[in-house]
A and B are shown apart, each in its own frame.
Chain A
Amino acid sequence: MIRKVSHRRHILLSAVGLIVFFSGWQFAVTSGVLPSGMVPAPGTLWPAWLDEVRSGFWQQAICDSLTHYVLGLLIGSVFGAFLGILCGMLELLDGLLEGVIRLLRPVPGLAWVPFAILWFGLNTAGATFVIAISVFWINFYAAYGAVKSVDPELYELAAAFGHGRFLAGLFKITLPASAPGIMAGLRTGLGQGWMSVVAAELFGVPGIGARMMQASSLLATDVVVVYMLTMALLYALTDFLFGFVRRYVLRWQV
């Protein structure tokens, strides 16, 4: 009961915050504090959005970007979590890969764009690749850390009841015990994926990022902001939907 009330209050507060933010912004532009050439007024966003929808650019951009996002997220998350779990479990693999990982980890997703173009071209595969890489690392480290920090006493319990260390250990202990960490990684990757969408489409693969670049080269800041907000909404939506999955998988935690 107490939780519910405070949850509702939380939503109310953040709604109030948003209203204050947008009206402050509108006021700053109309009063001239912010020059309207630099920052579009919130009031101009609506017509800009309608234009984009009528011309079909908006729907097309969302479709394209969602494709890149979903594919990149899936590939990056699955491979990242999988390798993270393996490295967490197998000392040998962990040792072998440590140097390589240290070498590759600091390379930002953006730096892979030339290779993405070279290897895949300016297409869905190229954009997917860039997104997958940035999501990969988040999931790799989340899964690795989660597996490493599984309580060894649980393995002792499994052994006491006759369950083998490897297969039974993996499915009965390692995976469920590291589920909270892996889910946290997936969730962070969900946000990181949207950030990488812009980088992935920077060089002309069609999508929200590409459309933003086009608009900004024409100084159509209102259109840029429309797509910024679009992305924020898409992120909020994916995070919201993932919340159901996470709460179901981790229902034992509440």
Chain B
Amino acid sequence: MNDDLVASLDNIGLSYDQGAHFILRNVTLSLRRGEFVALLGPSGVGKSTLLRVVMGLTVPLEGAVHEVSAAPDPRRRKNALVFQDARLIPWRSVAANVAFGLEGLALTRQEKQDRIESALRLVGLTAEADRWPRKLSGGQRQRVGVARALTVDPDLLLMDEPFGALDPITRHTLQDELLKIWEQTHKTILFVTHDIEEALKLATRIVVLAGAPAKIAGCLNVTAEMKEAESVPFKQAVLQLRSMIAGVSVNTAR
């Protein structure tokens, strides 16, 4: 099954102060092609930091990230990140923001145009292509962030609490849309959240990051029954995940 891997994290240890104080320690995680993994953890535990490590934006002090991909492809990027804060470029129109990741890839102008259009169609923003980010709603901004990540056709799509700052109605809509996009594109997704219900709704597998320094405190394969809100398996899964999150913090407190 090893050829099914997209990326693996091998004993990642990360510190912002040369090892005096670790944020992440012994974090080991494998991502298989096509799975939707939710990385669940309390606020401030190091979820965004871990995504930055996977993206190569932060170099870990210990361990390594292995990307299992075929020959490097100049028409795609290995990873793409949807930021917690959307992080659109204010001086670029929606379409130009989506184009940002394509610049530098070996694509013709027409191919770029096609990718931008299909990404915008996927997130339902075709009509907003020429608008400025500052005129968009919070939900629309996150959609642009998703489209921008999808255009580079990544092996691994990393999403950092993309819907965390949205109102519940918009959040549910975007969750449903994301599931549709996942079904259409078969992308491998690592989705960060601190919301247990969101993790259960979206993911095929949930990985809990907890403790200080943070490590993988538990793992849960999500079954179809667990996705039925208020069903018994759902409630059991919620309890199990809660204890995974709490268990480690209790251990380290001692």
Which residues of A pack against B, CB within 8 Å?
Answer: 153-154, 156-157, 159-163, 168, 172-173, 176-177, 179, 252-253
Q: Is B101 an interface residue (CB 8 A)?
A: yes
A157 to B92, CA, bound (A): 14
Which residues of B pack against A, CB within 8 Å?
Answer: 55, 57, 77, 80-81, 83, 85, 87, 89-93, 100-101, 103-104, 132-134, 148, 152
Interface of A is mostly: helix
Are A162 and B104 CB-contacts (below 8 A) given A154-B89, A177-B91, A252-B132? yes
Contact A252 B100 (CB under 8 A): no
Contact A252 B91 (CB under 8 A): yes
A176 to chain B, nearest CB (A): 5
Contact of B104 among A163, A177, A253 (CB under 8 A): A163
Offer 15 A-B interface pairs, CB within 8 angstroms, sorted by A: A156-B57, A157-B100, A159-B57, A160-B57, A161-B80, A161-B148, A161-B152, A162-B101, A173-B89, A176-B89, A179-B91, A252-B90, A252-B92, A252-B132, A252-B134
A159 to B100, CA, bound (A): 11
- List A contacts of B152 (CB < 8 A): 161
Contact A161 B100 (CB under 8 A): yes
Contact A168 B104 (CB under 8 A): yes
A212 to B144, CA, bound (A): 59
A162 to B77, CA, bound (A): 8
Contact B87 A153 (CB under 8 A): yes
A223 to chain B, nearest CB (A): 47
Contact A160 B132 (CB under 8 A): no
Contact A161 B90 (CB under 8 A): no
Residue on B with the closest CB to A176?
B91
Contact A172 B103 (CB under 8 A): yes
- List A contacts of B77 (CB < 8 A): 161-162
Residue on A with the closest CB to B152?
A161
Are A157 and B87 CB-contacts (below 8 A) given A168-B104, A252-B132, A252-B134? yes
Contact A157 B89 (CB under 8 A): yes
- List A contacts of B90 (CB < 8 A): 252-253
3 closest cross-chain pairs (CB), A and B:
A161-B101, A252-B91, A176-B91
Which of B55, B89, B133, B134 has the most chain A CB atoms inside 10 A of its CB? B89
- List B contacts of A252 (CB < 8 A): 90-93, 132-134
- List A contacts of B132 (CB < 8 A): 252
B90 to chain A, nearest CB (A): 6
A247 to chain B, nearest CB (A): 14
Residue on A with the closest CB to B58?
A156
Contact B81 A160 (CB under 8 A): yes
- List A contacts of B83 (CB < 8 A): 157
A78 to B207, CA, bound (A): 54
Residue on B with the closest CB to A251?
B132
- List B contacts of A177 (CB < 8 A): 91
B100 to chain A, nearest CB (A): 6
- List B contacts of A176 (CB < 8 A): 89, 91
Residue on B with the closest CB to A161?
B101
- List B contacts of A173 (CB < 8 A): 89
Residue on B with the closest CB to A168?
B104
- List B contacts of A154 (CB < 8 A): 87, 89
A172 to B101, CA, bound (A): 11
B69 to chain A, nearest CB (A): 14
B209 to chain A, nearest CB (A): 20
B132 to chain A, nearest CB (A): 5
- List B contacts of A160 (CB < 8 A): 55, 57, 80-81
